[in-house]
Amino acid sequence: MNTIKKAYRSFYSRSTILAFLLLVVFASIFFRDRNFLSAPNLINVLLKSARNGGLLALGMTFVILCAEIDLSVGAVYALSGVVMGLVGQINPFLGIVCGLMVGVVSGLLIGLMVTKMRISSWIASLAMMFALRGMIQIVARRSVAIENALLRFANTNFLKKTIPGAMSGISIMIPIFFILTLICMYIGRNTKFGMGIYAVGGNGEAAKMMGIDVTKIKIKAFVCCGFLAALSGIMLASGSGSATLSAGNTYETYAIAMCAIGGIKLTGGEGKFSGTFFGILVYFIIDTIFTYLPSGISVHWQSVIMGILVLISVGVQSEVLQNLRPGKRGQA
């Protein structure tokens, strides 16, 4: 019995990585005639992770670890690109700064609403989402073209014409995604702020009694989340050369799903940034697998499978199964 428990425990703690490996193996066998493991394909998975919501999930992790939620990230993602495009027509550098400020300010406002006015973060960020979506329509009537060279920074590619099958090379967004993941992991593990996040989300009352400034930690977490969403948004616009108004619609739900797959507990205090990282990869591998399937069925089934996957990954972490884990009342 002990071995089963032990095996389950190790599976639990590494379930996301295992899911990731299983998916890669499964997909490479299943699609071996179509070279799933080929370089261009893998680069594509990473590019999607870096560009289409991976950073949103990383940012969301800060907030969920505090036992809060931020539903405004999709809107921030869209507005930041638009703001960068518009302000960038005056001064490109200022454009980037203003784009990022969209996320910082919205994060700050949500944080203040949650901590000072005691509004539930579901409501505060939902209100912010509506407000920002409206702002997008107010400041720009149609997509904003981005032409300035500085503003197209994310269009940079490395290793062009060196990787067979991927002549356009590797987008700069991929290393940026990796570096940001590492920074987040470092913050989560090695800073006072990081430890504060886990304490606030794990037991807010206790954190307060231990002299941790709960208000400050939560506001910082929302600002980090907003900042990463805005950075992601300006990279999207910068890479594609156009800021579209409907970008990032419903991406907040995907970001939450990636966190959930990555083992971030929605009740706060448990989970790791590295978990989110693998959650993001698992999500986009499945996303890619669906492009391999015959067209017609894939789009709808993708949603269904994704739903099931989220349920499974959260189910593995559920209280019921956790009771199987040893040490709930361990020896003294």
Partner 1 sequence: MAEVLLEIKGLEKTFPGVRALKGVQLTVNKGEVHALMGENGAGKSTLIKVLTGIYQKNGGTIRFDGKEIDCKTPIEANEVGISTIYQELNLVLFQTVYENLFLGREPRTGFGAIDRKAMIEQTDKILKDFGIHIDVTKPLKAYSTAIQQMVAIARAVSINAKLVIMDEPTSSLDKKEVQVLFGIIRKLKSRGIAVIFISHKLDEIYEICDRMTVFKDGEYVGEYDIKDIDQFRLISLMVGKDTVALERKKTGYDFADASPLVEVKNIKQGMRLHGINAVIKQGEVVGLAGLLGSGRTELAQVLFGVNMPDEGEVFWMGSSAGIHSPSDAIKKGMGFCTEDRKVEGIVPNLSVKENMTIALLPKLQKFGFVKKKEQDEIVDKYIERLKIKTPSPEQAIRNLSGGNQQKVLLARWMCMNPKLMILDEPTRGIDVGAKAEIEVLIQELSKSGISVLMISSEIAELERNCDRIIVMRDGKVIGEVIDQDIHQDKIMELIAQGSESEGRV
Q: How far is the CB of 202 from partner 1 (least distance, A)?
A: 4
In this complex, which beta carbon is closest to partner 1, that of residue 51 or of residue 265?
265
Q: How far is the CB of 17 from partner 1 (least distance, A)?
A: 19
**Tokens representing residue 167 in the block:** 């002549």
Evaluate whether 232 touches 53 at the Cβ level (below 8 Å). yes
Quote the CA–CA distance of 200 and 213 in Å, as a whole number. 9
Kindly list the distances between the CA atom of residue 229 and the CA atoms of 116, 198, 289, in Å, as whole numbers in the listed order: 23, 21, 26
In this complex, which beta carbon is closest to partner 1, that of residue 163 or of residue 214?
214
In this complex, which beta carbon is closest to partner 1, that of residue 159 or of residue 206?
206
In this complex, which beta carbon is closest to partner 1, that of residue 270 or of residue 287?
270
Evaluate whether 223 touches 73 at the Cβ level (below 8 Å). no
In this complex, which beta carbon is closest to partner 1, that of residue 152 or of residue 208?
208
Q: Give me the residues paired with residue 242 across strands.
A: 145
Q: How far is the CB of 226 from partner 1 (least distance, A)?
A: 24
In this complex, which beta carbon is closest to partner 1, that of residue 97 or of residue 195?
195
Neighbours of 28 (CB within 10 A): 15
Q: How far is the CB of 205 from partner 1 (least distance, A)?
A: 6
In this complex, which beta carbon is closest to partner 1, that of residue 300 or of residue 328?
328
Closest CA to 60 of 304, 276, 211: 276
Q: How far is the CB of 65 from partner 1 (least distance, A)?
A: 10
Binding residues for partner 1, per CB under 8 A? 186, 190-192, 194-196, 198-199, 202-203, 205-212, 269-270, 326-332
In this complex, which beta carbon is closest to partner 1, that of residue 94 or of residue 210?
210
Q: How far is the CB of 74 from partner 1 (least distance, A)?
A: 29
Q: How far is the CB of 198 from partner 1 (least distance, A)?
A: 6
Closest CA to 199 of 67, 57, 61, 12: 67
Q: How far is the CB of 67 from partner 1 (least distance, A)?
A: 11
Please give the distance of CA 110 from its chain centroid, rounded to a whole number: 18
Where do we find the tokens 């990032």?
A: 248
Quote the CA–CA distance of 103 and 84 in Å, as a whole number. 12
Q: How far is the CB of 213 from partner 1 (least distance, A)?
A: 9
In this complex, which beta carbon is closest to partner 1, that of residue 141 or of residue 328?
328
